């Protein structure tokens, strides 16, 4: 299908440039008219247009789910609901997607099948939940649950970003201060100390040695982390074993590992409960959860649990035998399996871990500030001791 570069006019008379795939010019004009635009002119291009497109974010999906939940709950047909949503949409890329969804549904496809044509926007879990909602007749409830789940993900991502950004910024500041001290300040002080002619203590010689490394090899020190980063990414991209070991290492990192583990468990419990409540089978829930958790160690544990369940073991016993799920998850699975309310039990797990993650992030942030202060204090103390120590020794010899 060729791609067209076009200029179109909206209802307010504003010209909007863009690009779109279409079978021919009448097809392009039809697609634009369904988006509320009138085609002005266009030209076909053989090459893919390189353009910066606005990404469809999680917040856009939250708005999509919220509007669809409200409209479907009110009894509005899917096509009318999508058409109303498209009219109120100010996101060009998302308007194109919704236009294609309308065309696909008009062509006889179900909503879940039409959504599956855009895996970069609607992932497998999203489309599976919509499919389950279509079969169970609870589409409005599924949209509501998806909206709440996406809001939770957005809040969790903001908390995680906050936890990462603060030490990253402070680390950059500390690195800059260290370079300034070692390259500019220390050489001036040590030049004065060397002129005294005294034998320098070990910690002063060590400071001069480190300062010389910074002076002569500063470019290596700056390039080394960048090279290590890209080298590690290339290694992880080539080796599945390396990716598995890296994911296992992430769960064992001091302070960060426990937080990450609880984030993964909260995400797993939330989506498992959501899928199970929507009528998806346990084995299918586990299979879909493997792509949600984002960690190969936990995904391998889920694969093992699915295999054990398919062999006849109970859900609780299968998860317990994997050895990667903590006692809280096992207890809740046992309660849910016994009462028949597995989704409710897992929602309790998600609530508990979500609260714990927030508390742990606050604790980590509270610990970072004094830790950075101690590091800077030790660095400055080392420099002052290495510089002032020989000066004090010289003054003491003059007095005697």
pLDDT tens for 285-305 read 888 888 778 888 988 998 999
pLDDT above 90 covers a percentage of the chain that reads 5
The DSSP symbol for 314 reads -
Spell out the residues 6+ positions from residue 124 whose beta carbon is closer than 8 angstroms to its own: 288, 291
Reading the block at residue 400, the tokens are 């005697």
Which residue is associated with the tokens 């039990």?
Answer: 345
Which residues are bridge partners to 21 per DSSP?
3
Query: Phi, psi (5° rounding) for residue 14?
Result: -90, 135
Opening angle at CA 68, ends 86 and 18, nearest 5: 25
pLDDT at residue number 288 = 83
Tell me, what CATH number does 125's domain have?
Answer: 1.20.81.30
Contact yes or no for 204/393 (Cβ under 8 A):
no
Instruction: Count how many domains the chain has.
Output: 2
Residues 183-208 have pLDDT tens digits of 887 787 777 777 766 677 788 888 88
Tokens of 276: 């199970």
Q: Could you tell me the residue range of the domain that residue 125 belongs to?
A: 58-141
| Residue 356 belongs to a domain | no
What lies within 8 Å, CB to CB, of 96 at 6+ separation is: 20, 31, 35
Domain boundary, last residue among 141, 161, 180? 141
- Find the helix or strand (DSSP H, E) in which 21 lies: strand 15-21
Task: Please report, for residues 90, 175, 193, the alpha-carbon distance to residue 230 in angstroms, rounded to integers and kept in the order given.
Answer: 37, 20, 41
> Does residue 18 share a domain with residue 70?
no
Is 165 contained in some domain? no
Statement to judge: residues 66 and 34 lie in one domain: no
Residue range 206-220, pLDDT digits in tens: 888 888 898 889 889
Domain-located, residue 16: yes
d(CA 398, CA 377): 31
Residues 64, 117 share a domain: yes
Tell me if 136 is assigned to some domain: yes
Could you tell me if residue 105 is inside a domain?
A: yes
pTM: 0.67
Instruction: Say yes or no: 11 and 79 in one domain.
Output: no
* Domain end among 109, 141, 173: 141
d(CA 208, CA 394): 18
Q: Do both 78 and 124 map to the same domain?
A: yes
Residue 230: inside a domain: no
Q: What digits encode the pLDDT tens for the residues 51-105? A: 445 688 888 899 999 998 988 888 888 888 888 888 777 788 888 888 888 888 8
- Domain assignment present for 124: yes
Which residue, 105, 123, 141, sits at the end of a domain? 141
Two structure tokens written together for 327:
């006692």
**Distance from first CA to last CA of the chain, Å, rounded?**
93
Q: Are residues 99 and 66 in the same domain?
A: yes
Residue the block writes with tokens 């708005």: 63
Task: Specify the DSSP class assigned to residue 24.
Answer: S
Total residues belonging to the chain? 400
Q: Are residues 130 and 66 in the same domain?
A: yes
**Statement to judge: residues 26 and 76 lie in one domain:** no
Q: Does the residue 87 lie in any domain?
A: yes
């Amino acid at each position: 299908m060729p791609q067209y570069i076009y200029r179109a006019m909206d209802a307010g008379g504003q010209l909007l440039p863009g690009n779109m795939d279409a079978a021919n010019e009448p097809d392009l004009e039809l697609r634009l008219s369904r988006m509320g635009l009138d085609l002005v002119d266009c030209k076909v291009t053989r090459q893919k247009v390189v353009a910066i497109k606005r990404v469809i974010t999680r917040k856009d999906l939250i708005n999509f789910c919220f509007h669809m939940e409200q409209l479907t709950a009110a009894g509005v047909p899917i096509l009318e609901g999508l058409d109303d949503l498209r009219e109120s949409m100010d996101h060009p890329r998302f308007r194109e997607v919704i236009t294609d969804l309308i065309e696909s549904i008009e062509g006889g496809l179900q909503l879940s099948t039409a959504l599956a044509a855009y895996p970069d926007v609607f992932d497998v879990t999203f489309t599976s939940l919509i499919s389950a909602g279509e079969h169970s007749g609870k589409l409005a409830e599924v949209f509501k649950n998806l909206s709440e789940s996406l809001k939770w993900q957005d809040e969790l991502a903001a908390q995680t970003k906050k936890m990462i950004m603060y030490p990253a910024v402070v680390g950059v500041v500390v690195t800059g201060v260290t370079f300034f001290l070692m390259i500019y300040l220390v050489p001036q002080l040590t030049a004065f100390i060397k002129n005294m002619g005294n034998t320098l203590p070990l910690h002063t010689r060590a400071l001069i040695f480190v300062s010389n490394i910074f002076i002569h090899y500063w470019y290596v020190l700056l390039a080394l982390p960048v090279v290590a980063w890209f080298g590690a990414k290339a290694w992880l991209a080539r080796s599945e074993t390396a990716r598995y070991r890296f994911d296992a290492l992430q769960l064992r990192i001091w302070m960060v590992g426990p937080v990450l583990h609880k984030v993964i468990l909260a995400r797993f419990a939330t989506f498992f409960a959501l899928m199970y409540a929507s009528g998806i089978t346990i084995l299918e829930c586990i299979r879909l959860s493997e792509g949600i958790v984002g960690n190969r160690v936990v995904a391998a544990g889920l694969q093992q649990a699915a295999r054990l369940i398919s062999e006849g073991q109970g859900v609780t016993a299968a998860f317990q035998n994997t050895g990667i799920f903590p006692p809280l998850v096992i207890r809740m699975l046992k309660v849910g399996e016994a009462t028949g309310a597995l989704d409710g039990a897992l929602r309790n797990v998600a609530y508990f871990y979500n609260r714990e993650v927030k508390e742990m992030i606050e604790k980590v942030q509270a610990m970072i500030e004094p830790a950075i202060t101690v590091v800077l204090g030790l660095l400055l103390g080392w420099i002052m001791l290495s510089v002032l120590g020989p000066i004090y020794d010289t003054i003491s010899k003059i007095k005697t």
